[in-house]
Structure 1
Amino acid sequence: MKALFDFILTFGNLNPQQMDFITAKAREITIPKEEYFSEAGKIARQVGFITEGILRVCYYNNKSEEITKYFIEENNLVVDLESFDNQISSSSYVQAVTDCTLIVFERKDWLELLQTIVGFDAIVHKIIARALMQKVERRSPLVSEDATTRYLKFMEIYPSAVNRIPLSYVASYLGVTQSSLSRIRKNVKL
């Protein structure tokens, strides 16, 4: 729980009673590698905080190709926000890239935290705003750059994750084939 509170407290303040209330609503889960935190076609029902591991958000395009949109590392919240907030079926999968440990909150408990803890909604809005900004910052350079530059940028964005993510997922994220990525990696001398 310490990592969760260290994360939350960078966005606002909580008193000990509020932290106890949050703790009472939380539970820890593990998700084995390749398993899903949430799935396309289902309604997202929980918010998670990753204490260990990496998750990826992916979908299938109209050619049934799997496309990785982005990765989420330790010390970040994970939720399919549109599905969770609007109670609609998700269009994406959130899958464990590695074995993961998360602190999770069921939707009813998360809503209770938002309604009960004064200022918690403002903290959550700051967290969401930062996550959206990161998503844009991470995706924008990938659109217009060549494959080698995209790979170098990927290594810059995810330095601690680069050796923990399978090449097939990295290739999907970068929009290149796995064989192209292998060639790029050989040519990139670090």
Structure 2
Amino acid sequence: MEEMIEYILQFGNLNKQQTELITSKGQILQLKKDAYFSEAGRIPKQVGFVVEGVIRGCYYNNKGEEITRCFISDRSLVCDYVNFEASTVSSEYLQACTDCHLIIFPKTDWEELSYNIVGWDNIRNKMVQLCMYQKSRKGPVISQDATSRYLEFMENFPSLINRIPLSYIASYLGVTQQSLSRIRKNIR
């Protein structure tokens, strides 16, 4: 919980009672690798804070191919927030790439913080903006060659290279796993 409070305090000030209220509403969730935090076809019901682990945002294109859109790692907020707020069905998945340790807030508890903490809406909005920016970051530029895309991935996500399956990195880069293996071999 300490990591989460440190994260929240980057976006605004809270007193001891307010942080205790937030802590009391947070629930611990251990998400096993490959399990879903939220799923396409369902209404997202919770906001999470990734204490440790990596979650990916993914969807299926019109050809039925799985596309990884983003990675959300340690000390970040995770949520399909637009659908969470509107109580509408999601079109993407948020899936654990590794075993994950999260602190989650069911919708009612998340909303209750707005009623009980002065200034919470401003803090929440800043956290959500960052979360949505991280999720909406465009993947690598497809006009780049595959090696350049991988090198850029290594530069932008150095901590993920050895933590997540190559198939997810390949999907994010828009290449086959075999191509990615060749690229990695040639770089070494």
Q: TM-score, normalised by structure 1?
A: 0.94
Q: Give the 3-state SS of the residue equivalent to 2:104 in structure 1.
A: strand
Deviations 1:61-97 (A, max 9, x none): 1111111011100100000112101100000011010
Aligned residue in 2 for 1:62: 62
Are residues 47 and 12 of structure 1, via their aligned partners in 2, closer, same or farther at CA, if it must alter by over 3 Å?
same
Q: Give the 3-state SS of the residue equivalent to 2:180 in structure 1.
A: helix
Alignment of 1:1-80 (within 5 A): 1-80=1-80
What is the identity percentage for the equivalent residue pairs of Structure 1 and Structure 2?
55
1:83 matched to 2:79? The reply is no
Q: How far does residue 157 in structure 1 lie from its aligned partner after superposition?
A: 1.6
Gaps of 5+ in 2: none
Q: How far does residue 102 in structure 1 lie from its aligned partner after superposition?
A: 0.3
Structure 2 Cα separation of the partners of residues 91 and 25 of structure 1: 28
Q: How far does residue 140 in structure 1 lie from its aligned partner after superposition?
A: 5.9
Q: How far does residue 139 in structure 1 lie from its aligned partner after superposition?
A: 2.0
Gaps of 5+ in 1: none
Structure 1 Cα separation of the partners of residues 143 and 25 of structure 2: 43
Q: Give the 3-state SS of the residue equivalent to 1:72 in structure 2.
A: strand
Aligned residue in 2 for 1:179: 178
Q: How far does residue 141 in structure 1 lie from its aligned partner after superposition?
A: 4.6
Q: Give the 3-state SS of the residue equivalent to 1:161 in structure 2.
A: coil
Structure 1 Cα separation of the partners of residues 140 and 177 of structure 2: 20
* Alpha-carbon contact 2:50-2:73 (below 8 Å) kept: yes
Aligned residue in 2 for 1:161: 160
Aligned residue in 2 for 1:111: 111
Structure 2 Cα separation of the partners of residues 109 and 87 of structure 1: 15
Supply the AA of the counterpart residue of 2:157: Y
Are residues 131 and 143 of structure 1, via their aligned partners in 2, closer, same or farther at CA, if it must alter by over 3 Å?
farther
* Alpha-carbon contact 2:81-2:132 (below 8 Å) kept: no
Aligned residue in 2 for 1:94: 94
Aligned residue in 1 for 2:127: 127
Alignment of 1:142-153 (within 5 A): 142-153=141-152
Structure 2 Cα separation of the partners of residues 141 and 170 of structure 1: 11
Alignment RMSD: 1.4
Deviations 1:18-41 (A, max 9, x none): 001101111101011111000000
Structure 2 Cα separation of the partners of residues 10 and 90 of structure 1: 29
Supply the AA of the counterpart residue of 1:110: W
Of the structure 1 ranges 12-21 and 125-134, higher mean CA displacement relative to structure 2 is found in 125-134
Supply the AA of the counterpart residue of 1:139: K
* Alpha-carbon contact 2:139-2:173 (below 8 Å) kept: no
Of the structure 1 ranges 120-129 and 10-19, higher mean CA displacement relative to structure 2 is found in 120-129
